[in-house]
Amino acid sequence: MTQLALHPSRHDAPALETPVLQAPILQARGVALRYPGQSRATIEGFDFALAPGETVSLLGSSGVGKSSLLRVLAGLQAPTEGHVTMNDAPLVGVHPRVAVAFQDPSLLPWLTLEKNVAFGLDFKHQPRQSRAESEARVEMAIREVGLTQSRRKFPAELSGGMAQRTALARCLARKPEILLLDEPFGALDEVTRTEMQHLLLKVVRDFRTAAILITHDIDEALLVSDRILLLGGAPASAIGEWRIDLPKPREDFIAELGAIRVDILSTLRGTAQRRAA
Amino acid sequence: MSMSWPTDSLTRAERRALAQSTSRPTSFNIARPAWTNAALGVGGLLALLVLWWLGTDVLASPDGFIRHFSPTTAIPKLIVLLSGPDLPVHILVSLRRVLVGLGFALLVGVPLGLAIGSFQRLNSATSPAFQFLRMISPLSWMPIAVMVFGVGDDPIYFMLAFAAVWPIVLNTAEGVRRLQPAWLSLASSLAATRWETLWHVILPGVLGHVLTGLRLAIGIVWIVLVPCEMLGVSAGLGYFILDTRDRLAYSELMATVLMIGLLGFLLDAGARALYRLATRSHA
């Protein structure tokens, strides 16, 4: 694995060996994924550790296997090799305190916004809680994303940004320890996307949740992440890692972010050239 | 190129005008307010009434047999019959048969449709067989149905359910195939059990298609019902038609025909209202 670390602040040690001070909340070791009938693995040799409260972007071009990787980290898909642990326990199926949001907000059109946010809270594999507590959580989640006024609307009456906020609220209602976001803002316009990125920062701060963001947008990764992991190659693995110790929001640090951006792009170009050679 | 379309010689402005003039009828249809459509529909029904009246009262010879079937006698007779003891009973008997038949069709058709929509192999395996069974007129099962179920309501329930089950199966299966994959990923990301996925995602997701199938089934059942009731039963609208014929009560016969059309119309309107109610939030 080629390694490229750039630290705009004080760290000098290679990022992959940066000790995680707190015990990782989610850990992947030697994860490989090969779909049946495929000659080549989609992912190979993927190692990863997520610290509590940390926001990590998995950055990579379309089709590199980011979404497959997220499915493995979410417990939606068992890896072919290696293993994923959450709080040191093997991840079997979806953990109730891991919330996943996809690019498609996946709202059910026959339920109101409120019911969509509450959807699944009473499922068998979710922790038991009283009706009053569920209602309080739903109300709190809707307030957090600023949709209290629209809570009785149906999805057909919501804009794309509102739909994605609703999907985020549905994640928050289960008080997640980890948010897994699969290009959640990919289908939104530029202005709405910026708003959603700020909302994400607020949510992560308010809920003290860790987050993994899958994205192909370098700027998005630069603005929201504590750490960026660049995925590339076939089968995909981590080809670079950057730790960004800048305060958020980061719109005032364009110069520092610009340097990392150039570095990410040159790493991508280097990988592409090696593959061509 | 030697080949040329007649429009090739037009200027750009002319072509645009042509495009607008050809696209106008569709946009006009969409823009037409609902009350205009309703008024047109009522106008069509009135025209039908006038045609009926012309055929039986104006164009027919003064002593023609067809004059027995005039709206001027049938409509007053229908009002008399509806306030009498017989016709309401026959209507209720017929409606009960329709409901029971549709109930059985739903009971069998929805689970079958869910299974066929979920498993492509099952769909391939059953598709030709269903096309074959579907094309057999339910009435042709009559003798067998009577031998198996005996005389009475049971063979009618069987035939009505047999007629109604196909559109329900096919539409439910289509509904399952059109479920958004995102809804199913959502269910699995929330660790939903199979039962929870079925109950909270698949069933509400296919409801619109099931109701479309139900509406088609109502149309078929209502058509099949009357001939079914002409065989071996002593109540129902089909029975009453034959009864009026035997009593030479032609105005009653025509009044019953009118009633059958009216009830069918109302059943269809009810099914449409149910569909709109169930899908009102999706628009």
Higher pLDDT, A276 or A266: A266
Closest by Cβ to A156, choosing from B192, B193, B282 = B282
Test A76 with B204 for CB contact under 8 angstroms.
Answer: no
Which pLDDT does position A152 carry in this prediction?
Answer: 93
CA-to-CA separations, B62 to A219, A228, B13, B72, B245, in angstroms, rounded: 90, 95, 63, 15, 22
The two tokens of residue B33 are 């307010």
> What per-residue string of b and e applies to B254-266 under the rule 16 or more CB within 10 Å gives b?
bbbbbbbeebbee
Of A189, A175, A190, A199, the closest CA to residue A96 belongs to A175
Test B281 with A93 for CB contact under 8 angstroms.
Answer: no
Half-sphere exposure of B34 (CA within 13 A, CB side): 0
Q: Is A154 on the interface with B (CB under 8 A)?
A: yes
pLDDT at A10 over 50: no
Q: Is A124 on the interface with B (CB under 8 A)?
A: yes
**What phi and psi values does residue A46 have, to the nearest 5 degrees?**
-95, 120
Which pLDDT does position A9 carry in this prediction?
Answer: 42
Specify the fold of A1-97+216-277: Rossmann fold (3.40.50)
Test B282 with A125 for CB contact under 8 angstroms.
Answer: no
Test A94 with B193 for CB contact under 8 angstroms.
Answer: no
Which pLDDT does position A136 carry in this prediction?
Answer: 93
CA-to-CA separations, A17 to A60, A188, A239, B117, B137, in angstroms, rounded: 21, 36, 14, 51, 76
Closest by Cβ to B183, choosing from A93, A96, A108 = A108
Average pLDDT over residues A211-224: 91
Cis ω before A249 (30° cut-off from 0):
yes
The ipTM value here is 0.80
Q: Closest approach of chain B CAs to the CA of A94, in angstroms?
A: 6
pLDDT < 50 regions, chain B = 1-11, 13-15, 17-18, 20-28
Using a CB–CB cut-off of 8 Å, the residues of B that contact A are: 180, 182-183, 185-193, 196, 200-201, 204-205, 207, 281-283
Q: Closest approach of chain B CAs to the CA of A245, in angstroms?
A: 32
Q: Closest approach of chain A CAs to the CA of B119, in angstroms?
A: 19
The two tokens of residue B141 are 């099962």
Which pLDDT does position B32 carry in this prediction?
Answer: 66
DSSP B57: I
- Break chain A into its structural domains and give their ranges: 1-97+216-277
Chain B residues whose CB is inside 8 A of the A100 CB are 189
Q: Closest approach of chain A CAs to the CA of B283, in angstroms?
A: 6
Distance between CA B127 and CA A72 in Å, rounded?
A: 37
Cβ neighbours around A150 below 10 Å, total: 18
Test B182 with A106 for CB contact under 8 angstroms.
Answer: yes
pLDDT at A23 over 90: no
Nearest residue of B to residue A95, measured between CA atoms: B191
SS3 state at B73: helix
Distance between CA A238 and CA B185 in Å, rounded?
A: 26
The two tokens of residue B277 are 């109610």
- In this prediction the pTM is 0.77
Closest by Cβ to B182, choosing from A104, A124, A156 = A104
Spatial contact of A43 and A65, defined as CB atoms under 8 Å apart: yes
Test A123 with B183 for CB contact under 8 angstroms.
Answer: no
- DSSP run (H or E) holding A243: strand A237-243
DSSP string, B12-36: HHHHHHHHHHHHHHHHHHHHS-HHH
Closest by Cβ to B281, choosing from A96, A104, A110 = A110
Distance between CA B74 and CA B70 in Å, rounded?
A: 6
Q: Is A92 on the interface with B (CB under 8 A)?
A: no
Which pLDDT does position A15 carry in this prediction?
Answer: 46
State whether CATH 1.10.3720.10 applies to domain B71-282.
yes
Which pLDDT does position A21 carry in this prediction?
Answer: 62
Q: What is the number of residues in chain A?
A: 277
Nearest residue of B to residue A74, measured between CA atoms: B189
Which of A151-155, A252-256, B29-33 is predicted with the least confidence, judged by mean pLDDT?
Answer: B29-33
**Residues of A (16-55) whose Cβ lies below 8 Å from B:** none
Q: What is the pLDDT of residues A25-68, one digit of tens each?
A: 998 898 888 888 887 888 888 899 999 989 999 998 887 888 88
Which pLDDT does position A3 carry in this prediction?
Answer: 43
Nearest residue of B to residue A108, measured between CA atoms: B183
Higher pLDDT, A153 or B61: A153
Distance between CA A8 and CA A15 in Å, rounded?
A: 12
Closest by Cβ to A123, choosing from B180, B190, B283 = B190
DSSP A93: S
DSSP string, A9-78: SS--S-GGGPPPSSPPSEEEEEEEE--TT-SS-SEEEEEEEE-TT-EEEEE--TTSSHHHHHHHHHTSS-
The two tokens of residue B180 are 């958004």
Q: Closest approach of chain B CAs to the CA of A93, in angstroms?
A: 7
Nearest residue of A to residue B279, measured between CA atoms: A110
Closest by Cβ to A106, choosing from B183, B191, B200 = B183
Please count the residue pairs, one from chain A and one from chain B, whose beta carbons lie less than 8 angstroms apart.
62
Chain A residues whose CB is inside 8 A of the B205 CB are 108, 110
Chain B residues whose CB is inside 8 A of the A106 CB are 180, 182-183, 185-186
Q: Is A106 on the interface with B (CB under 8 A)?
A: yes
Closest by Cβ to A124, choosing from B186, B193, B282 = B193
What's the mean pLDDT when you consider all of chain A?
Answer: 85
Test B283 with A156 for CB contact under 8 angstroms.
Answer: yes
